[in-house]
Structure 1
Amino acid sequence: MSTEESVDPELIEQTKQQIRSLVREIAQIAKTDIAPQEFYDAVLNRVVTALAAVGGAIWTVNEAGQLALEYQINLRETRLAESEENQIKHGRLLRKVIDSGEGTLIGPQSGSGNEEDGANPTDYLLVMGPLKTARETAGVMEIFQRPGRNVTVQRGYLRFLLQMCELASEYLKSRKLQHFTDRQALWAQLEQFTRLVHQGLNPRETAYTIANEGRRLIECDRVSVATCQGRKTKIVAISGQDTFDKRSNTVTLLTHLAKAVVATGETVWYTGDTSNMAPQVEEAVQSYVDEVHSKAVAIVPLKEPHDENDPLARPKVVGALIIEQIEDSRPREGLPQRIEIVSNHSALALTNVQEHNDLFLMPVWRTIGKSRWLVEARQLPWTATACIALLAVLLFLFLWPANFELSADGKLRPTVRQHVFAALDGDDVSEVFVEHGQMVKKGDPLLQMENSTLERQIAEAQGNLAEAIDQRRGIKAQLEKKGGLESSEEFQLIGRERGLEKQIISTRSQLQLLQKQRERLLVTSPIDGEVITWKPREMLINRPVKTGQLLLTVVKPDGEWELELHMSEDDMGYVAEAQAEFGPELPVDYVLLMRPGVTHSGTVREVHHTAEVRGEEGNTVLVEVAIDKNDLKVRQDGAVVKAQVYCGRSSIGYAWFHDLISFVQEKWFQFF
């Protein structure tokens, strides 16, 4: 029995046009250089649409020879995931297509009968076509089609799928050819990187080679190199920058990040999520990324090669490699492999550089190795002349006698000087009676302070005193009358009177003390002299003061003057030896910076017994020097002086370089 179905010719033609359009689109996509996942997505969706199928899948063979699902549409409808046995049967079926390299049609719930050939455990017609490269089958394109069509239609499905597989195979061939080309270029870059990074033993040059050549090989935006010396980690090279400010905020944060990762010894990858990082690493990463706004950062600790004689030993970390993507957080294809190659060679290169430069007296041996030309016949006369000149200089330094003098900075001061301090707290300074340079007598008022708390206490004491006096007067009046008072009342009044007497005495004493404190709010000059505080009114008026705060300074300019020298603690040993040999009053020559052309003389009067830290000068000892004030035409308190303290005679070399000799002796004691 046969039936005839009437089909609209226009609909058939429209369907054919749609299929041809899809085929042209697939052909055009196959000629592009899009990523494999995007290609599989575009092709499979169009094939499934053209065949009006339920779904499909694309399987490829990976480098390990295993089947990998690259893309799928409605694979869940086949229910293959529900049964491991069905997955095995289906996998064998895919293997058969790959091994044979031919397309096939497999009906629902059917197979060849040979268990090794696999079977179709699904309820759909499987249309399979091989994806081939030049010499091998690289994968399978599989379509899940509804069953029930006649054989002719099914064969049409297969022919169409095989045509699409040919187009997809052209893409895979081009992709593989491009892969071979890229690999060849990569090997050329790797060869260049390896040759450059291992050709020298200069630490700075090696680090810059790693940064710049490593960035080209990895194809990232920036590569930085950090080195480790003991517990110290520092950034030594940044790609694209010959020099950089090591104190900048960016480099400081990058140093902290490298140090935190080096401490863990594990590679850190940042692409926006820090939840799986150690707290110290997370904080360092966030601080750095907030500063530079990099989208992806990889920090790879560089470790020296494993010791074959001690496989359990923990390898030493010699540095770190910091790789950054500034605009795009998506990792490029092959990025981890390239980073691994660069980090391995960088670790070996830095290890060799550090071992080479850690050799004893390496700078000396390197200099000697580069100086062989000095003894060549052509250069020998010049070399001999230079050696003779050097010997003459050394003999001069060791044998020529000179004064051994120690330099010190200081200031010119009047011998009689008094600092005026606040005797108690003041709310503010209400009046300043003197100006800079004004002459004053001992006891002259200098300034007036106000203290509201003290005034309130005085007022309270006066009120309490007046109240107690009034009460005592009333009690006396009652006692004088005596009329109508019982003996008990009289005794009680007498007791109250005596208590008030004591209260009055105590309150008067308290009031006297408070009034004395009020008198101290008026600050007076402790000596006859000159006020040398600059602009005291602007400095003090209407400002609060605390007990012990320096207010003014008064000096006696017509008295004796002295020098206050701040001698470095390192030089005090020489001073003590000279005083033991020549006496305590060592000669001193000095100049005022206001008149540096005139040299004056003085003698050491006193050396303080303790050293103090004074600003940038460090630990210094105060040395007082007696001078003749008549030698100075201009005397100004605080004038800066440069002085030299005579400490005997020595060779001129020791006089010039005693600081260097002391430094070498200190380091020798420290290390040996």
Structure 2
Amino acid sequence: MTQFSQPAAAPDDDAVRRAKAEIQTIVRQISELSRQDISPERYYEEFLNKVVSALAAPGGAIWTVSDTGQLQLGYQINLRQTGLAENPIAQEQHGRLVHRVLSAPVGPGFKEGAVVPPHSGFSADDELVDAASGEHLPANATDFLLVLAPVHNDQGAQGVVEVFQRPGARPQVQQGYLNFLLQVCELAGDYLRGRRLALLADKQSLWEQLESFTRLAHDRLDVRQSAYTIANEGRRLIGADRVTVAVGRGRKPKIEAISGQDTFDTRSNVSTLLTKLARAVAKTGEDVWYTGDTSKLAPQVEKALDAYVDESQTKAMAILPLVDRRGVDPEATEEDVRKGGRREGDVIGALIVEQMVDNRIADGFTQRVDVVRSHSETALGNALEHEGLFLMPLWKTLGKATWMFRRHTLPKTVLVTGAIAGAIAASLLVQKEFLLEGDGKLRPRDVANVFAQIDGTVKSIDVTDEAQVERGQALVELESVDLEKDLTATRGRLNTIDAEHATINREITGQRGDELSPEERAQKLGRRASLYEELISLRAELKLLETKQQQLTVTSPLTGQVITSRVEERLMGRPVRRGQVLLEIADPEGEWILEVEMPEKRLGHITKAIRESPDKSLEVEFLLATNTEQTLTGRLTEPGIAASAEVRGDDGNTVLLTVEFDQKEFREAATDPKVGAEVKARVHCGRASLAYAYLHDLVDFVRSKILFRL
């Protein structure tokens, strides 16, 4: 059986199939593109590029309808090649052609879109010029075949897609161009419908956010609360990275709130520079929009803005003065102003909006900022006026307190008021012991400091910590290289002079003395007298140096115990100066006393109580830190009060009180007392009312700091 093979497809059929497949692929790509949430500019660019590529056309254009109903160019490819830019008449004809396609009715019996051959009217039979009016009619004055199709959404025609095609194609091919363009324009209409629905949803969300922001911003007449609300809710409404609110009448606002921060450091570099920037803008009263260029700003604003941007790395920001516009009449005359009218509002702060990442301004950003600014001005103006009312905190407190006088709560209010009044009366009438507390330290009565009597270096230490010493016992040995040098030199000089003096003396008084001439005798007698005087001086100097040498040995001024700690570590091998305290010696076996540091401001109470006391002394109770179970007592007399005050610790000026006490009772309570042991002491200063006994520091403060100044 003979088999016949199927003839191969013609090359033209393969090309057509490939072309159709490519066009279908492009249509799917446009369909997917139309479902994406991208900006119109990007959509028009990708859409027209795919359409021109599918039709293998030299170029094309997308014409859109603006908010005012005018045609505007959305995107173009090779529009200049059409020659329309150089021919105004051709532009007018082309514009009317696009308008004709845009306004053509859509529906059964109406032709949608158009294919216009080169240098012809809207259709083959149209004239290019109206014979009656002489106006140029819609026409294609270019060398290209124009394929035009409108783009519709649910609101009607929104634009026209135009393709510049090469002329000469068959009518069926031209119709194919138009059918393809109409098909993709339906997909573009789907994109516009989806975008419109998204914008409506965004507007609905924006209105809800605006309603929430407006309600919260005007909710309370509190400046700080209003500022925090504006900063945080305003940031959400605007969609910015950070919103800051500065508040203050005049030209010196201060930062009151920063979005996302409950508290912030007003002394930080960012806060300080932002405050300076807000004040610089407030002085000018002009809005400042920064996206990277500061060359057109006022010099003081430019300087402050550059410093802040360098510190915060902000990419874009708006600094807008907040003005109290209530009662402002821009058309007020000079007479109206004199009568109390206002032509311009007062600056009450600044709204600062920042973008940290991108310096591009998003769609609707400026409008949202203006809305937030408008409501901020009103809210802060009302809050400032409310807080500026005379004694407003008092009126608020009284207003909140009215609940206490209602029928159900009135008995409780009377009872509580009576209890408070009774407590106040008792605190003023009931007397108690008036006690003044102070911190003190114990020490033996006999305490002496051991001083260095001469400059030197510690050579040896003859005692240890807490060692028992006798009066005159050597404690520390010093050495002085300079002193040894002076001693050696003085002794050598003394020996030399003494030898010379002896020699001259023998020459005068010896056997050969009679042989000297009168002149030689007189000369030698004079020399002997001079040497004798020098001998006396050198012996006195040597005695003084030997006395200093003896002072290199530091002795104890009394019998007692070394109470200086870490003696060897502090002194060994170290240079010391004359008058420097080396050690402290105390007699722990003798009597002990208590030294209390009392703030100077309380000394008046103590002095007054001593003078009013029958025995001119006050009882002092004290508690040892080493024995808190037993309270000891002592007496303070007027000689025990130091004559001068000194600054000690955190209490400022304090006066040292010396308290004497029973030594037997003290020995029983403190078996091994330590020098400098801490003590809590209370001085009995008579009796006073409960209120004054506990609040005397406050009363004294009011008397000295408030009443005295009045």
Could you state the TM-score of these two structures normalised by the residue count of structure 2? 0.68
Partner of 2:217: 197
Match among 639, 644, 661 for residue 605 of structure 1? 639
Change (3 A) 1:75 1:100: closer
Give the conservation status (yes or no) of the 8 Å contact 1:409–1:642: yes
Give the conservation status (yes or no) of the 8 Å contact 1:86–1:121: no
Query: Once structures 1 and 2 are overlaid, which stretch shifts more, 24-33 or 165-174?
Result: 165-174
Match among 191, 203, 209 for residue 183 of structure 1? 203
Give the conservation status (yes or no) of the 8 Å contact 2:441–2:595: yes
Superimposed CA distance per residue, residues 255-278 of structure 1 (whole angstroms, 9 cap, x where no aligned partner): 445534433347888989999985
Give the conservation status (yes or no) of the 8 Å contact 1:302–1:344: no
Superimposed CA distance per residue, residues 96-125 of structure 1 (whole angstroms, 9 cap, x where no aligned partner): 735861566595999966888899998877
Superimposed CA distance per residue, residues 155-204 of structure 1 (whole angstroms, 9 cap, x where no aligned partner): 76555445433322321222122111210121112112221332234566
Match among 305, 310, 317 for residue 324 of structure 2? 305
Give the conservation status (yes or no) of the 8 Å contact 2:564–2:584: yes
Superimposed CA distance per residue, residues 625-662 of structure 1 (whole angstroms, 9 cap, x where no aligned partner): 23226153334332333334455544321222233334
Partner of 1:407: 437
Question: Tell me, what secondary structure is at the counterpart of 1:33?
Answer: coil
Partner of 2:45: 41
Q: Give the number of aligned pairs.
A: 624
Match among 458, 465, 474 for residue 436 of structure 1? 465
Partner of 1:97: 98
Change (3 A) 1:10 1:660: same
Aligned AA (2:17): E
Partner of 2:348: 316
Partner of 1:19: 23
Q: Distance in 1 between matches of 2:557 and 2:120?
A: 117
Aligned AA (2:154): A
TM alignment of 1:267-306, pairs within 5 A: 303=322, 305-306=324-325
Give the conservation status (yes or no) of the 8 Å contact 2:436–2:685: yes
Partner of 1:653: 691
Unmatched runs of 5 consecutive residues or more in structure 1: 1-5, 290-294, 478-501
Change (3 A) 1:174 1:402: same
Partner of 1:31: 35
Change (3 A) 1:373 1:458: same
Give the conservation status (yes or no) of the 8 Å contact 1:462–1:511: no
1:530 paired with 2:561, answer yes
Identity of aligned residues (%): 36
TM alignment of 1:218-367, pairs within 5 A: 218-219=238-239, 233=254, 239=260, 255-256=271-272, 258-265=274-281, 303=322, 305-306=324-325, 308=328, 309-312=341-344, 314-317=346-349, 333-346=363-376, 348-367=378-397
User: Displacement, 1:42?
Assistant: 1.9
Match among 366, 382, 386 for residue 412 of structure 2? 382
Change (3 A) 1:455 1:315: same
Aligned AA (2:400): K
User: Displacement, 1:393?
Assistant: 1.2
| RMSD of Structure 2 on Structure 1 (CA) | 5.7
Q: Distance in 1 between matches of 2:304 and 2:443?
A: 54
Aligned AA (2:280): T
Give the conservation status (yes or no) of the 8 Å contact 2:434–2:686: yes
Unmatched runs of 5 consecutive residues or more in structure 2: 1-9, 104-112, 123-127, 329-340, 504-532
Q: Distance in 2 between matches of 1:59 and 1:509?
A: 121
Question: Tell me, what secondary structure is at the counterpart of 1:97?
Answer: helix
Q: Distance in 1 between matches of 2:555 and 2:705?
A: 55
Question: Tell me, what secondary structure is at the counterpart of 2:639?
Answer: strand
1:368 paired with 2:398, answer yes
Partner of 1:491: none
Superimposed CA distance per residue, residues 516-536 of structure 1 (whole angstroms, 9 cap, x where no aligned partner): 989877765555443323333
Q: Distance in 2 between matches of 1:623 and 1:42?
A: 91
Q: Distance in 1 between matches of 2:543 and 2:69?
A: 106
Match among 171, 189, 194 for residue 191 of structure 2? 171
Partner of 1:592: 623
Q: Distance in 2 between matches of 1:406 and 1:271?
A: 66
Match among 603, 616, 622 for residue 650 of structure 2? 616
Give the conservation status (yes or no) of the 8 Å contact 2:595–2:659: no
Superimposed CA distance per residue, residues 561-610 of structure 1 (whole angstroms, 9 cap, x where no aligned partner): 44444433544555566677679966252423414440423315355676
Could you state the TM-score of these two structures normalised by the residue count of structure 1? 0.71
Superimposed CA distance per residue, residues 351-392 of structure 1 (whole angstroms, 9 cap, x where no aligned partner): 544543454444443333233332233333322222222221
Q: Distance in 2 between matches of 1:449 and 1:109?
A: 124
1:567 paired with 2:598, answer yes
Give the greater-gyration-radius structure (CA). Answer: 2
1:217 paired with 2:249, answer no
